[in-house]
Chain A
C-alpha cells in the first residue's frame, strides 16, 4: 500500500472517466462482445423501469438481472442517472484495489510457505521461487493488468453489470485469501443465485476452509445451500413472485436468447436440430460447470487460488453469455502466477490470437449486420478463434504450473546421459 498504488488507481480512474465521456461509451454499451442479455445496461434500465411501474420484469424476456441488484440500483438509476458512470468507475477501482490487496496477501503467504519448504527444493530453482521483490511487483502487475486492460476499461465505460460481477468475484477471492468464511459463502451464494456458474467456486472454498475433514465440507455445503435459499427468499420478498428464478437461472440454463456473443453457445444452438437441443444443452452446461471441476480440484488441491483462477477463466470461456469483461477479470489474475511464466510456451500465439480475433470481431460484425456483405459464419469464426486462444492460455497456464512444480523439486536441468532432458506428460 504505497503512493504508487494510489497513483495507479487515480490513473485508472482518469482513463475510465475520460473514455466514459466520449461517444465510445454508448457504442460499447451496445456492442455484443461486451453487453450480453445478462449484463447489458439497457436491460438493467428496462428492469428497473418495469419494477418502478409495478410490472413484473421477469414476465417478459428482457430482464435477467437479480431482483436484489435491480432494487438496490433503482434509486440510483431513476434519480441520479448522471452519477451512474462515476459510481461504476468507483466500483471498478474498488475491484482493482481488492485484487491488489489480494495479491499482496497471496505473495506473503507464498513466501511463508516457501520458507518452510525451501529445504526440499532443488538447487538451481531460485528463478522459480517467489522472492521479496514479488511483494511489490506482483500486486502492481495485477493492479495494472486490471486497471489498464482495454477489456475491463471498455466493460466499465459501457456500464455493463459485469463491473458488479467482477467486484463480487474479487471480494470473494479477497476473503478467500484472508480466510474469512462467512463473507465468502454469502458472496458466492449471491453470485450463484445471480448467474449460476460461480457455483463451481465452491471447490476452492472447500479446499481452503475444509481441507482435511469431510464433515466440515458437508457442513459448508449445507451452509452454502442455506445462504442460497436465504438470498432467493430475499429476492422473493422484493418481488413477491418466484418468476425471477426462471428469469435468471432458467434463462441461463436453457439458453433462450440466441444473441451473438463471444462464447460458443450462440451459433451452435442457432444451428442446432431441435430434437438434439436438450442433449447438447446439458452437455454444454456440464462442460461449463462440473466437467473440469473434480479433476482440477484433485490436481490443484494445494493451490486453491490457482484453481479459482482456472475455474473463473473456464467459466469466461464456456458460460452461456460470456462478455469481454469476464475475460479481462481473469487476465488480471495471471500475474499471480508470474513464477510459472517461464514455462508458458504459447504467450505470443495467444497474444496474437487475442489481437487478431478482437479486431476482426468488430469488422466482421459490421460486415454482417450493417453492410450485409458477410454472414454469420464470419463472426462465428472470429469468436471461435477467440475461444481457442483463451483455451490455449488456460491449458498453457496449467501445463506451466505442473512443470514448475516438478522442476521446483527436481531442478530446472534434468540430465540424461549428460544431455538436457525434456519434460513431457505421458
Chain B
C-alpha cells in the first residue's frame, strides 16, 4: 500500500484543486474570452476526479505510515536557459514536501525548517509567497520567467480557519510579516494595513481545499533593496544549508553581480477536503538569476557553472531525493556545445511549444566516491557575430508602465499592456496605489491601439470587471482591479489621474527628494498556448512537472515596473519658524479684535505728539521711566459710547461734559507741574 502511495506521489498525482470561484468572479469571467471560461471549467472537472482518487490513496498511505521519514522529501533542481542578448537565466528550485497528516505532527520537523512548521501552528495561514528581488525581468527579450516576482519585496498569503474575521486576519498578517522580517532579514516589518490590500480576482490560491471563506492579503515594498543579508538566512532554511548541494553555488559575491536576482519562498498546505488531519506541507525556495555574459570577464560567449557561480558543484545534498540539472538545448541553447554532454535528454511539448532539456542527475554523477568539483561548460561556436543572431519574437503579452505629467502636483499613471497574439485575450490588472497618492477613479480609462500604429486613438475599451477600494491617507492604499478583453494584435493604454499629497514633515523618508515609490501593477491573463511559458502547473511541485503539462490554457502573471514619484517637500529645517509665524498672524487678528471689543474710545489732543519723526523717537526714548508724563489731554467716553441706545447716549453725553471739564482742570494742573 505504501508503494502505491509512492507511485502516486511520484507520478505527481496529488494535486491541488483550484477553488470554485465565487459567484461574482463567475460573472466576471462570463465576459471573458471563451477559452478562459472553458479553461476554468475544464480544469475543475479534470482535477476534481484525480483529486478524489488521490486523496483515497493518501488516506491509505497515512494509515500505514504516520511519521516515517519517507513522508518527507527534498528535491533540488537547477535550470539553465540561455536568453537572448547574451543573458543566461539560472533557476534554482528547492522543494520540501512533507505529508505531516495531523497538526500535532508539526512539532517533529525533519527536513522542513522549524519556523515554517511553527507558522502553521501559530497562524491560520494556508499559503504564503514571499519574493525578494533586485532588477527587472525584461519580458520582451527574455520571455516569461519560471517564477514571477516584482522588484523589491513582495508578500502575499491566504488565511483560512473557521470563524476567522477580517480583524484577526489583519493582526495575523502583520505578525506573519514580522516573523519573516526576522527570518529573512528583510524590511517586511513595514508591511501593515496601510500598504496591504485584499485582492479579489487576480491572485488565485493554490492550496486545497480552498473555498470562499479564505482571506487574502497582499503587500509589496518596492523600495526594499535585496542583498547578502537576505541570501544568507534564506539559504539557512534549506536542509543542507549552503554546505553542499546546489545551494553551495549561491555565493553572494556572484549572485549580486547579476542583472536580475530574485529569491522566492512559497509555502502551501494541501489538505483533503474537510479534513484538517490529512495534510501536506509544501515549501518551495527559488532563486532566479539572470547573468549578463558581457559582464563576466571572458572572451566570447562561452560560460560555465564555474564562471557563473565562482566554483563548480561539490556534490549533491545528501538529504535530497532528487538532484538534477536541466539545461535548455534548443532555441538559444542550440548553438552551445556542452562539456560534459548531458547523459540524458528530455523533450517536452507544452501547448504546442517544444523545449529540449539536457538532464544531469547529480546523484549519478557523484556515485563514485572521491571529492571533486563538477562543472558544465557551454561552448559557443567560434567566430560568431553577435548581430547575426536574430531577436526573439516577443511573448504574447507584455506590460510596461510609466508616469506622465510634470511637477509635483498632478500626474497620470499609465500602464500599457500589449497583446501580440492574433486572438483577443482576457486581461486582469491589479493596482495597489499607496496612500500618499490620490487616484481619481472617474479618470480611469482604457484606450486601444492596433500594433503598428504609433498613436492611441480615442477608441475606448469597456471594463468587464471593476473592483475599487478607495485609499485613505495614512490608513489604506487604493486598490483597483480591472478586467477587460484585449483584442489581438493591439495594445491597451490604461491611464488614471493622480494627485501627489503633501505629507507631514516627519513622514518623509530620510532622503525626501529621492521620491516615493508606487508599486508595480500585476497583470494576469490566460494564454491559449504555451509559447515561452515555463511556470509550474498548479498541481505540480517540481520543475520537472511542467514537462508535457499541456492544459487548455495557461494562467500568466506579469509585473510591471514600479514607479517613483517626487512629492512636494516642506522645508525640514524650520518647524519653529513656521509655528511662530503662523501664530503671529493669528495674534495680529486677535489683538485688534480684542481691543475693539473691550477698550474705551478716548479723544486725545492731537498736538501733544511731535510730528517730526526724530523728535518722536527722542521723546519715546527719554520718556521711559517717567510714567507721569502726560502725552495728551484726554476725554474719556464710557465703553461702547457709540453703540448705546440713544436715550442712554444722552445721559452719557451730559456726564461726559462734566467729566471732560474735570479732566481738563486736572491736565492743566499736571501741565503746570511738569513745567516746573
Bound Cα distance A302, B579 (Å): 37
From B469, B473, B504, give the contact of A270 (CB < 8 A). B504
Interface residue B646 (Cβ < 8 Å from any Cβ of A): yes
Complex interface: chain A residues within 8 A of B602 (CB): 423-426
- Please, what's the 1-or-0 string for A319-356, where 1 marks a CB less than 8 Å from any CB in chain B? 00000000000000000000000000000000000000
A299 pairs with B502, CB closer than 8 A: no
In the assembled complex, how far is the CB of residue A243 from the closest CB belonging to chain B, in whole angstroms? 11
In the assembled complex, how far is the CB of residue B466 from the closest CB belonging to chain A, in whole angstroms? 7
Complex interface: chain B residues within 8 A of A272 (CB): 504, 575, 579
A295 pairs with B594, CB closer than 8 A: yes
The verdict on A417 contacting B633 (CB below 8 Å), with A270-B570, A388-B588 known, is yes
Interface residue A384 (Cβ < 8 Å from any Cβ of B): yes
Complex interface: chain A residues within 8 A of B606 (CB): 419-422
Interface residue B120 (Cβ < 8 Å from any Cβ of A): no
Interface residue A242 (Cβ < 8 Å from any Cβ of B): no
Complex interface: chain A residues within 8 A of B571 (CB): 375-377
The verdict on A60 contacting B472 (CB below 8 Å), with A414-B603, A423-B602, A424-B602 known, is yes
B569 pairs with A376, CB closer than 8 A: yes
- Please, what's the 1-or-0 string for A181-219, where 1 marks a CB less than 8 Å from any CB in chain B? 000000000000000000000000000000000000000
A426 pairs with B440, CB closer than 8 A: no
Interface centre among A267, A271, A284 (most CB of B within 10 A): A271
Interface residue A25 (Cβ < 8 Å from any Cβ of B): no
In the assembled complex, how far is the CB of residue A104 from the closest CB belonging to chain B, in whole angstroms? 25
Complex interface: chain B residues within 8 A of A257 (CB): 473, 501
Which residue of the partner chain A has the closest CB to B668?
A417
Complex interface: chain B residues within 8 A of A30 (CB): 409-410
Which residue of the partner chain A has the closest CB to B593?
A292
Which residue of the partner chain A has the closest CB to B475?
A61
Interface residue A120 (Cβ < 8 Å from any Cβ of B): yes
Bound Cα distance A222, B499 (Å): 42
Which residue of the partner chain B has the closest CB to A300?
B643
Interface residue B342 (Cβ < 8 Å from any Cβ of A): no
A61 pairs with B438, CB closer than 8 A: yes
In the assembled complex, how far is the CB of residue A366 from the closest CB belonging to chain B, in whole angstroms? 9
Interface residues on A, range: 35 or more
Bound Cα distance A370, B411 (Å): 12
Which residue of the partner chain A has the closest CB to B646?
A120
Interface residue B599 (Cβ < 8 Å from any Cβ of A): yes
In the assembled complex, how far is the CB of residue A395 from the closest CB belonging to chain B, in whole angstroms? 4
Q: Which residues of A110-141 are within 8 A (CB) of B?
A: 117, 120
Bound Cα distance A346, B268 (Å): 75
Bound Cα distance A338, B560 (Å): 64
B593 pairs with A296, CB closer than 8 A: yes
In the assembled complex, how far is the CB of residue A65 from the closest CB belonging to chain B, in whole angstroms? 14
From A59, A299, A423, give the contact of B597 (CB < 8 A). A299
B585 pairs with A387, CB closer than 8 A: yes
Bound Cα distance A424, B472 (Å): 53
The verdict on A49 contacting B633 (CB below 8 Å), with A296-B597, A421-B605 known, is no
A46 pairs with B590, CB closer than 8 A: no
Q: Which residues of B447-469 are within 8 A (CB) of A?
A: 466, 468-469
B586 pairs with A287, CB closer than 8 A: yes
Bound Cα distance A380, B571 (Å): 11
The verdict on A291 contacting B409 (CB below 8 Å), with A384-B582, A402-B601 known, is no
Complex interface: chain B residues within 8 A of A267 (CB): 570, 578, 582
Contact segment of A148-156, A160-168, A405-413: A405-413
In the assembled complex, how far is the CB of residue B522 from the closest CB belonging to chain A, in whole angstroms? 21
Bound Cα distance A117, B571 (Å): 58
Interface residue A19 (Cβ < 8 Å from any Cβ of B): no
The verdict on A271 contacting B574 (CB below 8 Å), with A53-B466, A369-B568, A422-B604 known, is yes
Complex interface: chain A residues within 8 A of B649 (CB): 120, 409
Interface residue A274 (Cβ < 8 Å from any Cβ of B): yes
A405 pairs with B643, CB closer than 8 A: yes
Interface residue A260 (Cβ < 8 Å from any Cβ of B): yes
A61 pairs with B470, CB closer than 8 A: yes
Which residue of the partner chain B has the closest CB to A256?
B473
Interface residue B650 (Cβ < 8 Å from any Cβ of A): yes
Which residue of the partner chain B has the closest CB to A52?
B442
B502 pairs with A260, CB closer than 8 A: yes
A369 pairs with B407, CB closer than 8 A: yes
Bound Cα distance A426, B600 (Å): 5
B578 pairs with A422, CB closer than 8 A: no
Which residue of the partner chain B has the closest CB to A407?
B642
Bound Cα distance A298, B639 (Å): 12
From B468, B579, B585, B589, give the contact of A314 (CB < 8 A). B589
Complex interface: chain A residues within 8 A of B588 (CB): 388, 391-392
Q: Which residues of A50-72 are within 8 A (CB) of B?
A: 50, 53, 55, 57, 59-62
Give B residues with C-beta under 8 Å from A.
406-410, 435, 438, 440-442, 466, 468-473, 478, 499, 501-506, 568-571, 574-575, 578-579, 581-582, 585-586, 588-590, 592-607, 632-637, 640-643, 646, 649-650, 653, 664
Apart from A53-B441, A406-B642: 9 A-B pairs, beta carbons within 8 A:
A49-B441, A55-B468, A258-B503, A270-B503, A296-B593, A375-B570, A394-B589, A399-B592, A425-B602
